[in-house]
Amino acid sequence: MSLPLIALSSLFALAYGQQIGTNTAEVNPPLIWETCTGVGNCTPVNGSVTIDANYRWTHQVGGYTNCKTASGTWNTTICPDPITCAENCAVEGVDYTTSGVATSGNALTVTLTTATNSGPRVYLLDPTGEKYQLFQLLQKEFTFDVNLSQVGCGMNAALYFSEMNVDGGKATTNVAGPKYGTGYCDAQCPSGDNFIDGQANFANTAQCCTEMDIWEANAISNAFTTHGCLQDGPYACPSTGCSGQCDGNGCAFNAYGMGAKTFYGPGETVDTGSKFTVVTQFITDNGLPSGNLAQIRRIYVQNGVVIQNAMSQVSGIQSTNAISTAFCDQQLGTTSPFEAVGGMKPLTTAFTTGMVLAVSLWDDSSPDGMSWLDGAPNAGTCTTGVNTTAATVNATFSNIRFGDINSTYVMPPPISTSIITLSPPHTTTTPTSTKPTTTSTTTVPTQTHWGQCAGIGYT
């Protein structure tokens, strides 16, 4: 668009805040997903995706001057204070084809550029394109296909849920809203959002909220992890700071870390050299959506074969293949951050309200950057940082389905929706897995500061 047209458009811009740029039209890539009430009884939903607001060019309304300087500080001429800054700055549309995001039918492909360590983070919009799609997860299952054969050591192809507001903080001071990817939060309490509820984030205020990591993975290892917070989100850290507000490390199930060394990976039971299906079930204590979250289960399907998650084989943790309060207490202790924020309670609340789906692909080139996910000997077989020489790396998520238990995948096994009760912590277990292995005394991996889906550099 020519400068005169841009200047003309600025005359009609409302003096609200976090305005919408006019240089690049925002065309959210369409993505079809399905809701299911029974096997073969699924209904397509015409959704779309949007890239996070912080990944966008933010500039002066009616011009091209960046609202932030090259050093990352606010331009004091355009932004003398948070409210004026929001009135003077516009968040721009993006060219998704050059931003590492592509969709085709029910498939979403995200691309990581390894030279710059840059990969996208996107959110699913509802059919209107003006709000985030909310998923109420209690006594439901969430399923997707994934191909991450290119995603090696030091990388993380993540699919997860965040307790973001359905409107992304859209208000008279934020006309951009979900269509432009506003309102991000997670259990790491990131402080990097440029705008919060339509005002410039001069104070680098952190935004906390409960997070459920369905899938943090590469071709070597994967984990699904709970991350609860003390309050319903999103919310700003109190004046005393963010420490203890959320369970940043979380309670995770990593099959390799649980002793099943040959369950997941290239050529293993779940063969990451080709596409497979991931099913995650959220079981309540009464078998109804009105119940409290009691257990999180994982099932895989590959080449028409249903594969139950590997059983834990770690001393002190009773053999199980699901996350529950007993599993978390046996793994982390009864005074862990998991229990300090309320155990499963924050997730029950967030799952009742509904959570926003996020997908990202990122890497950490530091030697120990992704060791919490894939590092030898406790979490995987990786011994260095990023191990690829490829200029770009792709991960494709497809065939997303959401619905009743055992409704989203073929050949469902005869699994009861009743809760598996674990005994108190003990010192010996009988290992059981798809491929026999010996009992492991491996130290269970935990996440570090960068053990998050937001990606390296998103503070």
Active centre residues (catalytic): 211, 216
Query: Which residues face 396 on adjacent strands?
Result: 109, 147
Name the residue type at position 385: G
Neighbouring C-alpha atoms within 13 Å toward the C-beta of 214: 30
DSSP for 377-446?
TTT-SB-SS-----SEEEEEEEEEEEEETT-SSSS------SPPPPPSP-S------SS----B-PPPP-
Query: Residue 324 — φ and ψ, nearest 5°?
Result: -145, 175
Determine the 3-state secondary structure of 213 from DSSP.
strand
CA dihedral 451, 302, 49, 235 (to 10 degrees): -30
Tell me the C-alpha distance between 164 and 234, whole Å. 6
Instruction: Tell the burial category of 305 from Cβ atoms under 10 Å away from its Cβ (0-12, 13-18, 19+).
Output: exposed
Could you tell me whether strands 211-217 and 264-265 are parallel, antiparallel, or unpaired per DSSP bridges?
unpaired
